[in-house]
A and B are shown apart, each in its own frame.
Chain A
Amino acid sequence: MLVRLIGLALLLGIAALGYRWWQGRQGMVRRVERPGALGVATLGEQPGKAATFVQFSTPICAKCPPTAVLLKRVAGERADVKHIEIDAAERLDVARELNIMRTPTILVLDSDGVVVARMDGAPSEAQVREALAAVPPPNEYSI
């Protein structure tokens, strides 16, 4: 009995620590260097003129709908920023190629459709703005 009680306390302690570690990483903005642009074939629609939030969701995801609301609101502040949502469970090929492990994951594209940053797990509004600020301004001379 005593052994099982100690085992239970350990189990809950480890679970709580693991949870805190996992939550701390949630939404963290990471710079990405990935050659090649994402186009209409992958996204299903035209990316934004200056930047795009590409949100990967699944139907089994409690944080995905509120994250979509947040991203739509921030993207809606500018005409040249767009929010595109992709069902990762349906587009498993894309999820594998882009290394999507959890939902929501948000890729941030620059004006050319190149991934410049990503957030794994639901971000806060500050993190969303930080990610958007990481996008370099459109290159006037790009073709």
Chain B
Amino acid sequence: MTSNDASTATKDIQIDPRGYRFGASVTLVISIIALILGANPAGIIAMAVLALLFLPGATVGPQKTVQSWFFRKAIRPRIGPPAETESFRPPRFAQQMGLGFSLLAVLFGVLEIALGFYIFTGFVVVASFLNSVFGFCLGCEIYLLLKRATTRAA
């Protein structure tokens, strides 16, 4: 059934939810650093690094990020296998949103529009804060609204 056609792209992958929560805490730390550094070259570089870290998660999936590699190598051996797994789709969507927002923050920073830099860095801070601290998936709440807003009624 699952050969090298489109069906592989839609195949679900179950991942350890603690892994991407750890990834969200990495995101939180970097985006807070960027927010405190401010709309200057140092802050822009921090957001550019964050965008790079989001890239594999946004394109392939959250199981392919540097953060998840570190989690598998250094953290999971200490805390054991997960009690339950989750689909990789919600966190991949979250990584895509994160990538988009951090790229916009970098863009506004480079254009020297400080307000834009702070707004989009702020979005990343809030989303990663809710995910890492409360395990709340902001993208899950937004997805249907986005779909409703962008798809015209038949």
Contact = CB atoms under 8 A, between A and B. Distances in A.
B38 A11 contact: no
B98 to A, nearest CB: 14
Contacts of A89: 143-144, 147
B149 to A, nearest CB: 10
Contacts of A16: 129, 133
Contacts, number: 79
Contacts of A101: 144-145
A19 B144 contact: no
Binding site secondary structure of chain A: helix
A103 interface: yes
Contact of B36 (A1, A15, A103): A1
Given A93-B153, A103-B140, A65 B36 contact: no
A23 B151 CA distance: 28
A59 B144 contact: no
B116 interface: no
Interface string B70-97: 0000000000000000110110010000
Nearest to B125: A11
Interface in B38-82: 38
Contacts of B143: 58, 60-61, 89, 103
Q: Is the interface of B mostly helix, strand, loop or mixed?
A: helix
Interface in B125-153: 125-126, 129-130, 133-134, 136-137, 139-141, 143-145, 147-148, 151, 153
A78 interface: no
B139 A8 contact: no
Contact of A88 (B93, B118, B144): B144
Contacts of B38: 1, 4
B35 interface: yes
A12 B141 contact: no
Given A7-B118, A11-B125, A12-B125, 4 more contacts: A58-B140, A92-B153, A95-B148, A96-B153
Interface of B: 17, 32, 35-36, 38, 86-87, 89-90, 93, 118, 122, 125-126, 129-130, 133-134, 136-137, 139-141, 143-145, 147-148, 151, 153-154
Closest 6 CB pairs of A and B: A60-B143, A62-B137, A15-B126, A62-B90, A60-B93, A61-B140
